[in-house]
Amino acid sequence: MNNKQNQKWWGLAFVWAGALVSIPSLLLGGTLVSGMSLLETLLTALVGYALVVVIMIFQGMQSTDLAQPTVKVAEYVFGKKGSQRVISLLIAVGCLGWFGIQANVAGASFNGLLSAFGVQMPLWAADLLWGLIMVGTALYGIKAVRWLTYVAVPYLVLVCVYGLVHALQTTSWSQLLAYQPTTHTPFTTGLTTTLGGFALGAVIAGDYSQYSPHRKDVVKAAIWGVIPAGVLMIAVGAILTIAYRSSNLSALFIKVATPIVGGLALVLATWKVNVINAFSGGIAFNNLFGVPQKYQKPTVFLVGMAGTVLAIFGIMNFFEPVMNLLGVMVPPAAGVMCAAYWIVNRGHVNSTTVLNDYEWQGIVAWAVGAVVAAAPVVLGFFPNAPHVSVNPLTGIVISLLLYLFLVRFGRSTVRTKELEENRK
């Protein structure tokens, strides 16, 4: 065991729970309950986060065994440069999409706050303003994130608790349980949306679990850190949506409290998260395209501005499709990594193995699984296209099985060549 691997399981659980106490979790609750009853929403949340936990456990234990972050563990299946490209691509796309969504929420919330003083501002201008503020903060550094976190997280929790208590005083449990949406979301689609909300966090779970000394610590941390926090936040978002009859988070928070109190909670919370999105996204893009570290700040700025453009064009209107895409494209990477580590290598790898720059078996298996699983989501953007239900396990299973086939086929080919050479 590495000397640095002294992280307690409850400390890791707290980190993962803290990541779920967020605006996206509330948005997810409102999105799900817009097409499901409250009980269906809670069941979807429970099963969805159970899938997240399974992925996190198998991903996290790899990093615990090797005391290395996800990108280093992934080198054994994608290659040195391949791992950097694949993982960086997933992080970059995820951060870019989330930046746009959160900038959208911040802009709308700021508009609501201004309206309390009789001031009007176009939504695109509010999105642009807060996009610039968030990017500027990201350029300032990680210290700003800490200060924003100290203020934003407790404040958001207090507003959520207040809103929940007020909602339960005005809406009975029988009314909440009797609620029926006007449209219906299939259970599998709901699972995919839920998985998309934390899919990237599940795949890169090893970045945090690498400091845990035992596999069992990862299991306990994932179960007790993710499921209670995730289901609770979705429940809060769903109950607030039903009670206040609005799935618009900005309008909902203004109804929960005063425009100033509610609007400020959303602005602070999204501000905090988007500083991390811009910072992490910038680093990911540098790794993806091999940009020298000295250009990190310009890259962070470009990522933030690209996310701001997405916000101006209303990416928030596509929240569910974006979550669905992340929910089907990200997990296949875990499918390939788990196949390599747990099935091919039987739960351990030789850390002294000389690695290639690219392991095409892993890259191809991930890409095929991601594309096949994403096809139904992409078809959903076209009204006249045939509707195909999205299954969150499709990409994982395809990538896992294809990788095993490619490895077996590759080894058979190598063995045949060896026999032919020996005969000569």
Residue 328 CA to residue 11 CA, distance in Å, equals 29
> Does residue 170 lie in a domain region?
yes
Residue 189 CA to residue 28 CA, distance in Å, equals 12
Q: Which residue is it, tokens 């997933």?
A: 90
> How far is it between the farthest Cα atoms of the chain?
88
> Does residue 180 lie in a domain region?
yes
For residues 209 and 226, is the Cβ–Cβ distance under 8 A?
A: no
What CATH number is associated with residue 304? 1.10.4160.10
Alpha helices in 245-318 (DSSP H): 249-256, 259-289, 296-312
The closest of 194, 281, 209 to 56, measured between CA atoms, is 209
- Rounded to a whole number of angstroms, the distance between the first and last alpha carbons of the chain is 48
The rounded radius of gyration (Å) of the Cα atoms in the chain is 22
Residue 256 CA to residue 226 CA, distance in Å, equals 26
> Does residue 218 lie in a domain region?
yes
> Does residue 399 lie in a domain region?
no
- CA 257 to chain centroid, in Å, comes to 28
> Does residue 360 lie in a domain region?
no
What angle is formed at CA 349 by the lines to CA 348 and CA 355, rounded to 5 degrees? Answer: 160
For residues 364 and 409, is the Cβ–Cβ distance under 8 A?
A: no
> Does residue 386 lie in a domain region?
no
Is this model's pTM higher than 0.75 or not? yes
> Does residue 366 lie in a domain region?
no
Residue 333 CA to residue 391 CA, distance in Å, equals 16
Tokens of 317: 């209107």
Collect the ranges in the chain with pLDDT lower than 50. Answer: 413-419, 422-423
> Does residue 45 lie in a domain region?
yes
Helix (H, G, I), strand (E, B) or coil at 383: coil
* Domain, as residue range, for 233: 9-334
Residue 353 is given by DSSP the state: P
Residue 101 CA to residue 199 CA, distance in Å, equals 16
What is the predicted pLDDT for the residue at 23?
87
What is the predicted pLDDT for the residue at 264?
87
Phi, psi (degrees; rounded to nearest 5) at 385: -75, 150
Mean pLDDT of the chain: 87
Residue 262 CA to residue 114 CA, distance in Å, equals 12
Going by C-beta distance under 8 Å and a sequence separation of 6 or more, which residues neighbour residue 72?
A: 66, 83
For the chain, how many structural domains are there in total? 1
